[in-house]
């Protein structure tokens, strides 16, 4: 088996898969992983993908309110290679870390952009968490605070089944309020939150601390 080594490169993390045994054993391991549809990226390929993603993120200051440095992902969506890179890296992480996942849950609204793509790759379902009042039928809701406002998250009662193993995805982790509310909604339905996936994490806001024991995987960190 390979050994996963984590290194830091500039403002993002690079994950490397290194095999301490003979090269032919490493090749067999790659072939075995390929048979389960898992993708193994070399350190160079992963670094290239992360660099491409990082270059497609831009900052708009004082948006939506004064003092907020807004991280814009629109250029990722415009570039098919960058969008594929995001999905590739999420898929590799989930297949390696959470092969038991049953459902991807995306947060309104940018979680909807990445969640269905990842779910389709993994062969699992997708369910949305929306702003209150946007979903029909019986729902559950949780109030939460943003770095510049307050809001309420909501999902349909039958979106998640008891006992299902769930990953939550969004574009960005800031103060952690949105992801915390999403975790609470999942737990209320007696499902298990395996972890959270985000494209961007603002480390200086310490949002992951609000999530307590829930693991957070981020591609780009500031």
Q: Which residues contact 101 (CB under 8 A, 6 or more apart)?
A: 94, 122, 124, 165, 166, 167, 194
How far is the first Cα of the chain from the last one, in angstroms, to the nearest whole number? 32
User: H or E element: which one contains 196?
Assistant: strand 192-201
Reference 154, options 108, 192, 196; nearest CA is 108
Q: Is 110 annotated in the active site?
A: yes
Reference 126, options 159, 171, 80, 88; nearest CA is 159
Q: Is 154 annotated in the active site?
A: no
Q: How many CB atoms lie within 10 A of CB 95?
A: 18
Task: Please state, in angstroms and rounded to a whole number, the distance separating the CA atoms of residues 20 and 23.
Answer: 9
> Looking at 96, 147, 184, 188, which residue is catalytic?
147
Q: Environment class of residue 218 by beta-carbon count within 10 Å: exposed (0-12), middle (13-18) or buried (19+)?
A: buried
> Looking at 56, 110, 121, 130, which residue is catalytic?
110
**Phi, psi at 163, each rounded to 5°:** 90, -10
Q: Which residues contact 17 (CB under 8 A, 6 or more apart)?
A: 2, 3, 4, 5, 40, 41, 42, 43
DSSP reduced 3-state for 221 = strand
Task: Give the active site residues.
Answer: 110, 147
């Amino acid at each position: 088996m390979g050994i996963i080594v984590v290194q830091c490169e500039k403002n993002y993390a690079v994950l490397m898969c290194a095999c301490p045994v003979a090269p032919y054993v490493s090749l067999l391991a790659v072939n075995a992983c390929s048979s389960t549809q898992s993708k193994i990226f070399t350190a160079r390929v992963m670094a290239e993908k992360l660099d491409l993603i990082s270059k497609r993120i831009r900052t708009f200051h004082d948006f939506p309110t004064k003092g907020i440095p807004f991280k814009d992902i629109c250029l990722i969506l415009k570039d098919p290679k960058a969008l594929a890179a995001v999905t590739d890296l999420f898929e590799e992480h989930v297949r390696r870390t959470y092969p038991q996942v049953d459902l991807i849950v995306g947060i309104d609204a940018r979680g909807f952009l990445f969640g269905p793509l990842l779910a389709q790759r993994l062969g699992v379902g997708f369910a949305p968490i929306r702003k209150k009042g946007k979903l029909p039928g019986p729902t559950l809701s949780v109030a939460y605070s943003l770095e510049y406002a307050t809001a309420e998250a909501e999902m349909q009662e039958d979106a998640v089944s008891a006992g299902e193993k769930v990953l939550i995805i969004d574009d960005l982790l800031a103060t952690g309020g949105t992801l915390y509310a999403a975790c609470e909604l999942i737990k209320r339905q007696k499902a298990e939150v395996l972890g959270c996936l985000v494209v961007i994490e603002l480390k200086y806001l310490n949002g992951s601390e609000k999530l307590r024991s829930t693991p957070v995987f981020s591609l780009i960190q500031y």
